[in-house]
A and B are shown apart, each in its own frame.
Chain A
Amino acid sequence: MSANNYDAIVIGSGISGGWAAKELTEKGLKTIMLERGRNIEHVKDYVNATKAPWEFPHRGGRTQQMINDYPVLKRDYPLNEMNLDYWVNEKESPYTEVKRFDWFRGYHVGGRSLMWGRQSYRWADVDFEANLKDGIGVDWPIRYKDIAPWYSYVEKFAGISGNRDGLAILPDGDFMPPMQMNVVEKDVAARINNHYKGSRNMIIGRVANITVPHNGRTNCQYRNKCSLGCPFGGYFSTQSATLPAAKATGNLTVRPWSIVTKILYDKDTKKATGVEVLDAENNQTYQYFAKVIFLNASTMNSAWVLMNSATDVWHDGLGSSSGELGHNLMDHHLGVGAGGSVDGFEDKYYYGRRANGIYIPRFRNLNGDKRDYIRGFGYQGGASRGGWSRDIAEMNIGADFKDALSEPGEWGMGVGGFGETLPYHENRVYLDKTKKDKWGLPVLAVDATTKENERKMRIDMANDAQEMLEQAGVKNIKQYNLEPVLGRGIHEMGTARMGRDPKTSVLNEWNQVWDAKNVFVTDGSSMASSACQNPSLTYMALTARAADYAVSELKKGNI
């Protein structure tokens, strides 16, 4: 085998790329994982993970320099002093916003698996059947029964903590012991359950933080500093989980600073032969060859790689024959919900910083409920006591003010919605050849917006939040419904969707590119609809399932 020949190439090292590398190497394939950014080594490179607040010169805040350097990141919470190195350099890697789209990227080994929100929920049949039933987009080529065993498989390895709640809309998984609700959350949950007679439920979040030791990883220490990287390996990331497993096989090569510019396609065999890589450090071009390629560059960048792989056979890129490549971009719409204060419980507090909250699964347009929009939404939230940054109306400055702020304030409870966005053909990404990045490569243009269905849904998202909190005895409730901006959910999906028909989809039921059967795309781009659950667990399951199929097809000589 020559130096640049492998059995498999994995493009990207985030949640799905890490899973692809683990599965392929464990099945005996010599695999190279190509990552466009720098290496981040587990524990050693989590440089801020164990710092105290006072060790940050701006105490975690943002400087004018940061605001200038990060025109996109500055729009929301991610821009802060503590994990700035985990976000893409926006000056080096610009993109074009035809309409505002907040794209939060991490270009390094581990990708966004280092900073992700870790909420992990299964989808149900109602989600996989929705497009067919509503006549929206294309029908998912799989159903819950096809993916259920793979959910179990990835949950057991990743380590998902959660309660077995027995809800049809949110199937139970193979969970580690759940985290606890605090006393106020328990009270609110009981009141909601009681008032809605079980048709609405508040449960503890299901989260990829381990609650018991697992595969040499230490259980979550309740520091709530996950997004800085966890020195205990307390949450699932490429570094803490899939990468060590893949490396242990002896079959993995990791190559950082490797921008995959195109997938090489052989029109005679109708298969890919390898990839072309631009070395981000020395600007040299290299080629790597393999029998099977997993594309896991993240939803929008996987579409970029495919579109940039145009040939005289496929002018608009590999996988473009359906005309759907780059289209149907989705995200979850959020920034809508309610919160208020809670009387009582002054003799109760909590110990530890739980890196998790509560979850209210979807209840709209189910079991006979019918709204003036389709699909639904869930909520995340939690209860806590006020901290030192609260304003105390009757106090100004001085000793009493200081001593009052040194004690916890009253309890508050809030919930924020995550709504399903429909797959609209016109919501899309495409190559903007008029603008180049630092390496002279064309950048991505994003043209996507929410529409009527999402806007109608948001009215319910705000009102239902308020109503449930009222029923639960929460006081002084304020609801909010901010302008829905796509990208903010950091759940991009759909630019290379799966389907049953090569004329209307990019990938088949096994995440294979219809036009090149040895290319598998198993990140968010493969999603045919968005549901309203956080999607990463589904990417993991799809990836493990596709890797299993790929190796079996390889052994049969079919690819």
Chain B
Amino acid sequence: MNRREAVGSVALLLGGSILGAEFFISGCKSTNNPDKVADLFNPDSVTFLNEIGETILPATKTPGAKAANVGGFIGVMVRDCYTPKDQQIFLDGLKKLNAAANKKFGSGFMDLNATDRTALLNDLDKEQKEYTKNIKKDAPNHYFRMIKELTLLGYFTSEVGCTQALRYLPVPGKYDGDYAYKKGDKAWALS
């Protein structure tokens, strides 16, 4: 596919609901809160983000988001790529996530077991999908969509994600457009 149409038309092709693609075309969106953003790099914050990531993409027969240190990656992206507005939404979002955990289970996210974490984030994902479905052009992004996007991007472009969850071919050397596939075979890493 022609390079300049690639991102745009694939997004349109799949109904414009492609996670992560928007980031490549318009950049990540978010406040200059240098101090608060710096907090994302505290060991506790990285652990918190890794545990959220692990709940979204847990270890199965392949390693999960924690093994790819998605928590560390998310801090870098929020710091460098988000607009100040989106940084604020993200930082507030982490508090909202904990508040939702408290409301549903009576304790913070870190104190929940894996089953409750999954149930909580499933609810939040349904909430963000519902919110995003009818979002107006300049309306704020939903924090959980941000978390999910960054988790997917961070995981599937990490070494763990590319080489274990996916198949990574640095130098394919040839092209076969009629290559056999059976259910369960992994997808290729993008590059």
Q: Assess whether A348 is interfacial by the CB under 8 Å rule.
A: yes
Inter-chain CA distance A65–B32, complex, in Å, is 12
Contacts of B25 in A (CB 8 A): 76-77
B4 partner, pick from A185, A346, A488, beta carbons under 8 A: A488
A470 CA to B70 CA in the complex, in Å?
Answer: 41
Question: Are A478's CB and B13's CB within 8 A?
Answer: yes
Which of chain B's residues have a CB closer than 8 A to the CB of A63? 27, 80-81
Measured between C-beta atoms, what is the minimum distance from B40 to chain A in Å? 15
Which residues of B75-121 are within 8 A (CB) of A?
A: 76-77, 80-83, 118, 121
A391 near B174 with CB under 8 A, answer no
Q: Is the CB–CB distance between B182 and A388 below 8 Å?
A: no
- Residues on A with C-beta less than 8 A from B55 are 397-398
Tell me what chain A mostly uses at the interface: helix, strand, loop, or mixed.
Answer: loop
Given the complex, which residues of A lie within 8 Å of B24, measured CB to CB? 60-62, 77, 80
Asked if A153 lies at the interface with its beta carbon under 8 angstroms from chain B, I say no
Looking at the complex, which one of B1, B154, B157 makes contact with A380 (CB distance below 8 Å)? B1
Cα distance, A222 to B56, chains bound together (Å)? 33
In whole Å, how far is A464's beta carbon from the nearest beta carbon of chain B? 15
Closest chain A residue to B20 by CB distance?
A: A389
- Note all chain A residues with C-beta closer than 8 A to B186: 406-407
Q: Are B122 and A119 in contact (CB under 8 A)?
A: no
- Chain A residues, CB < 8 A from B141: none
Known: A357-B1, A406-B166, A416-B2. A397 touches B157 (CB 8 A): no
* CB within 8 Å of A: which B6-60 residues: 6-10, 12-15, 17-21, 23-25, 27-28, 55-58, 60
Flag if B1 contacts A398 (CB, 8 Å): no
CA A354 to CA B178, docked complex, whole Å: 13
Chain B min CB distance to A231 (Å): 10
Do residues A353 and B172 form an inter-chain contact, with CB atoms below 8 A? yes
Would B175 and A406 count as touching, CB distance under 8 A?
A: no
- Asked if B152 contacts A389 (CB within 8 A), the reply is yes
A385 touches B13 (CB 8 A): no
What's the tally of chain A residues with a CB closer than 8 Å to chain B? 83
Q: Which of A117, A221, A353, A384 contacts B2 (CB 8 A)?
A: A117
A352 touches B81 (CB 8 A): no
Give the chain B neighbours of A409 by CB distance below 8 A. Answer: 187
Residue A183 is within 8 A (CB to CB) of chain B in the complex: yes
* Residue numbers in A under 8 Å from B187 (CB-CB): 385, 387-388, 405-409
A476 to B12, CA, bound (A): 11
Q: Is the CB of A349 within 8 A of B181?
A: yes
On whether the beta carbons of B9 and A414 are closer than 8 Å, the reply is: yes
Bound together, the chains give a CA A398 to CA B152 distance in angstroms of 12
B157 near A59: Cβ-Cβ < 8 Å? yes
Which of the candidate stretches A49-57, A141-149, A242-250, A295-303 sits at the interface with the other chain?
A49-57
Bound-complex Cα distance A80 to B4 (A): 13
Q: A77-B7, A180-B177, A388-B166 are in contact. Are A225 and B14 (CB under 8 A)?
A: no
Interface pair A351/B175, CB less than 8 Å apart = yes
Interface residues of B in 166-191 (CB under 8 A from A): 166, 168-191
Q: A403 in the interface, Cβ–Cβ < 8 Å?
A: yes
Question: Are A380 and B2 closer than 8 Å at their CB atoms?
Answer: yes
For the complex, what is the distance from the CA of A499 to the CA of B23, rounded to whole Å?
Answer: 46
Q: Mark A215-253, 1 if CB is under 8 A from B, else 0.
A: 000000111110100000000000000000000000000
Contact between B80 and A64, CB atoms less than 8 A apart = yes
**Cβ contact of A348, chosen from B64, B158, B178, cutoff 8 A:** B178
Instruction: Let me know if B19 and A389 touch, CB within 8 A.
Output: yes
B4 touches A397 (CB 8 A): no
Whole-angstrom distance from the CB of B122 to the nearest CB of chain A? 5
Asked if B177 and A480 make an inter-chain contact with CB atoms under 8 angstroms apart, the answer reads no
Q: Which of A117, A352, A386, A482 has the most CB of B within 10 A?
A: A352
A414 neighbours in B (Cβ, 8 Å): 1, 5, 9-10, 12-13
Among the stretches A18-26, A34-42, A331-339, A545-553, the one at the interface with B is A331-339
Structural contact, B191 and A225, CB atoms closer than 8 A? yes
A389 CA to B175 CA, complexed, in Å: 23
Measured CB to CB, the nearest residue on chain B to A349 is B181
Q: Are B173 and A387 in contact (CB under 8 A)?
A: no
| Cβ–Cβ contact A183 & B178, under 8 A | yes
Q: Which B residues lie within 8 Å of A380 (CB)? A: 1-2, 5
CA distance A60 to B21 in the complex (A): 12
B177 near A182: Cβ-Cβ < 8 Å: yes
B34 to chain A, nearest CB (A): 12
A346 contacts across to B, CB distance below 8 A: 181, 183
For B22, give the chain A residue with the smallest CB separation. A389
For residue A502, give the distance in angstroms from its CB to the closest CB of chain B: 37
* Residues of A195-222 contacting chain B, CB below 8 A: 221-222
Check if B165 is an interface residue, CB within 8 A of chain A.
Answer: yes
B142 at the A/B interface (Cβ < 8 Å)? no
- B169 and A352 form a contact (CB under 8 A): yes
Interface residues of A in 344-369 (CB under 8 A from B): 346-354, 357
Any A CB within 8 A of the CB of B67: no
User: Which of B8, B18, B180, B184 meets A391, CB within 8 Å?
Assistant: B18
A306 to chain B, nearest CB (A): 29
Nearest chain A residue, comparing its CB with the CB of B84 = A64
Compute how far the CA of A480 lies from the CA of B5 in the bound complex, rounded to whole angstroms: 11
Q: Is the CB of A349 within 8 A of B27?
A: no
B148 in the interface, Cβ–Cβ < 8 Å? yes
Asked if A57 contacts B173 (CB within 8 A), the reply is no
Q: Knowing that A60-B157, A407-B184, A414-B9 touch, tell me 8 more A-B residue pairs with CB under 8 angstroms.
A: A61-B28, A334-B4, A337-B9, A350-B177, A391-B18, A398-B55, A402-B56, A402-B60
Q: Which 10 A-B pairs have the closest CB atoms?
A: A182-B177, A339-B13, A352-B172, A416-B5, A352-B175, A349-B181, A396-B125, A382-B1, A380-B2, A389-B20
Q: What residues of chain B have their CB less than 8 Å away from a CB belonging to chain A?
A: 1-10, 12-15, 17-21, 23-25, 27-28, 55-58, 60-62, 64, 73, 76-77, 80-83, 118, 121-122, 125-126, 129, 148, 152-154, 156-159, 162, 165-166, 168-191
Supply 5 A–B pairs (Cβ within 8 Å), ascending by A: A63-B80, A385-B187, A388-B152, A391-B18, A478-B12
